[in-house]
């Protein structure tokens, strides 16, 4: 009997949707209620709670479907308006999270909880959560700055925060990069908006640079002529600005030649690797030696 009384009191404190529970507890304490009445009241309470749970489940299912429908309609609208892909990914991510929060509040209201009190409680927690998640708020603001200033967009190849890759999407807190080896990197927007970003896609051309060492005693003019023949024979290398081959440095074991030329962005990596291989093969054919690290030891008599 004592345990049943405690259960009735707990139920009365946890919800206001069942006004008869407190009365049942009082009557039980006074000993003037038959067990049939107690069971009947508990059945009524169970039915009322079940009704709220059923309504909440229906609200969740319908809301979940509506969110998917609204996200689909929003994506179609942004696509028809030809909104930039970077803005599309940001807006869709933001709207999806907002709709999910509204759905949670609606489901809680369907369970019989006073949403006004819940909203006040949520607001008070929001202050503390906002302070704890100040980094994420900074990332959110950084995402807005990126969308307005547009230092990069979806599809650009960028290098930032020690990571290089193709921008796959710009979300409300992170920018997703796809690296050359197929890894997805989530970079915080706050760091990107306030840090250094190298965008290799926004300019149509890019300069390719090589440093090739030859042995001391080799004919530098001959080596320069061979390299220029290789560069001039490659149609992907632009004539304006013209490629150059210069004597860079006189190192301990090598004479370093600096080679520079301009190519279209799309051809950059192919030209980089192919030209290096062509220089190696031609130097071997022409008898131009590549140096090895050397140390000269002088021994006293």
Can you spell out the DSSP letters for 166-194? EEEEE-SSEEEEE-TTS-EEEEEHHHHHH
Residue 206 pLDDT greater than 90, yes or no? yes
Residue 8 pLDDT greater than 60, yes or no? no
Average pLDDT of the residues of the chain? 80
**Facing residues of 163 across strands?**
160
Query: Which candidate, 204, 220, 206, 176, places its Cα nearest to that of 85?
Result: 176
Clarify whether residues 184 and 248 are in a common domain: no
Say how far apart CA 175 and CA 168 lie, in whole Å: 8
- Please report whether residue 6 resides in a domain: no
Clarify whether residues 232 and 281 are in a common domain: yes
Report whether 169 contacts 88 (CB < 8 A): no
Compute the average pLDDT of residues 284-290.
Answer: 93
Clarify whether residues 282 and 226 are in a common domain: yes
* Cα Rg of the chain, angstroms: 36
The number of distinct structural domains making up the chain is 2
Per-residue pLDDT at 18: 43
Clarify whether residues 152 and 192 are in a common domain: yes
Q: Grade residue 219 by pLDDT with cuts at 50, 70 and 90.
A: very high
Query: Can you read off the two tokens belonging to residue 217?
Result: 């005693």
Query: Which candidate, 160, 161, 170, 172, places its Cα nearest to that of 199?
Result: 160
Per-residue pLDDT at 28: 53
Q: Grade residue 32 by pLDDT with cuts at 50, 70 and 90.
A: low
Per-residue pLDDT at 258: 96
Predicted TM-score (pTM) of this structure: 0.55
Per-residue pLDDT at 63: 86
Q: Which of 13-22, 234-243, 291-300 has the highest mean pLDDT?
A: 234-243
- Please report whether residue 272 resides in a domain: yes
Query: Which candidate, 29, 36, 33, 37, places its Cα nearest to that of 4?
Result: 29
Tokens 């049939």 correspond to: 36
Say how far apart CA 165 and CA 236 lie, in whole Å: 23
- Please report whether residue 264 resides in a domain: yes
Q: Which comes out higher in pLDDT, residue 33 or 109?
A: 109
Q: What does the pLDDT look like over 151-190, one tens digit per residue?
A: 898 899 999 988 999 999 888 888 999 998 999 999 999 8
Give the whole-number percent of the chain exceeding pLDDT 70: 76
The conformation of residue 270, written as its DSSP 8-state character, comes to H
Say how far apart CA 189 and CA 187 lie, in whole Å: 6
Query: Can you read off the two tokens belonging to residue 275?
Result: 């030209």
Clarify whether residues 274 and 249 are in a common domain: yes
Q: Which of 26-30, 49-53, 101-105, 245-249 has the highest mean pLDDT?
A: 245-249
Per-residue pLDDT at 123: 65
Clarify whether residues 152 and 222 are in a common domain: no
Say how far apart CA 171 and CA 203 lie, in whole Å: 24
Clarify whether residues 190 and 230 are in a common domain: no
191 Cβ contact partners less than 8 Å away, ≥ 6 residues apart = 142, 160, 161
Clarify whether residues 227 and 280 are in a common domain: yes
DSSP three-state, residue 234: coil
Residue 275 pLDDT greater than 90, yes or no? yes
Give the number of other CB atoms < 10 A from CB of residue 169.
Answer: 18
| C-alpha separations of 257 from 111, 221, 244 in Å | 76, 11, 10
Which residue range forms the structural domain that includes residue 253? 205-286
- Domain final residue, candidates 166, 199, 232: 199
Q: Grade residue 294 by pLDDT with cuts at 50, 70 and 90.
A: low
- Please report whether residue 72 resides in a domain: no
Say how far apart CA 181 and CA 166 lie, in whole Å: 11
- The DSSP-derived string for 7-42 is HHHHHHHH-SS-THHHHHHHHHHHT-S-HHHHHHHH
| C-alpha separations of 275 from 197, 204, 247, 295 in Å | 28, 20, 18, 30
Per-residue pLDDT at 25: 57
- Please report whether residue 163 resides in a domain: yes
- Please report whether residue 210 resides in a domain: yes
Q: What does the pLDDT look like over 110-157, one tens digit per residue?
A: 777 666 666 666 666 555 555 545 567 788 888 888 888 888 988 999
- 194: CATH: 2.30.30.60
- Please report whether residue 7 resides in a domain: no
**Facing residues of 211 across strands?**
258
Residue 9 pLDDT greater than 80, yes or no? no
- Please report whether residue 273 resides in a domain: yes
- 226: CATH: 3.30.70.100
């Amino acid at each position: 009997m004592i345990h049943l009384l405690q259960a009735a009191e707990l139920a009365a404190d946890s919800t206001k949707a069942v006004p008869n529970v407190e009365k049942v507890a009082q009557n039980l304490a006074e000993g003037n209620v038959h067990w049939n009445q107690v069971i009947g009241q508990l059945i009524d309470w169970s039915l009322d709670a079940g009704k709220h749970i059923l309504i909440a489940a229906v609200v969740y299912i319908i809301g979940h479907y509506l969110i998917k429908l609204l996200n689909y309609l929003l994506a179609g609208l942004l696509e028809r308006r030809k909104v930039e892909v970077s803005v599309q990914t940001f807006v869709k991510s933001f709207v999806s999270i907002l709709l999910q929060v509204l759905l949670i509040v609606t489901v809680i209201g369907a369970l019989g909880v006073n949403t006004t009190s819940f909203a006040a409680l949520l607001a008070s927690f929001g202050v503390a959560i906002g302070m704890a998640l100040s980094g994420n708020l900074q990332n959110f603001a950084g995402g807005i700055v990126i969308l307005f200033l547009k230092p990069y967009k979806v599809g650009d190849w960028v290098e930032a925060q020690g990571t290089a890759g193709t921008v796959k999407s710009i979300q409300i807190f992170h920018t997703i990069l796809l690296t050359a080896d197929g890894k997805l990197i989530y970079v915080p927007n706050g760091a990107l908006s306030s840090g250094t970003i190298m965008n290799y896609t926004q300019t149509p051309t890019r300069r390719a640079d090589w440093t090739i060492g030859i042995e001391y005693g080799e004919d530098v003019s001959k080596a320069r002529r061979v390299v220029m023949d290789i560069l001039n024979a490659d149609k992907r290398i632009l004539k304006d600005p013209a490629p150059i081959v210069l004597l860079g440095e006189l190192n301990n074991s090598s004479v370093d030649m600096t080679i520079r030329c301009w190519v279209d962005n799309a051809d950059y990596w192919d030209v980089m690797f192919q030209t290096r291989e062509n220089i190696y093969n031609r130097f071997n054919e022409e008898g131009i030696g590549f140096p090895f690290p050397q140390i000269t030891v002088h021994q006293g008599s």
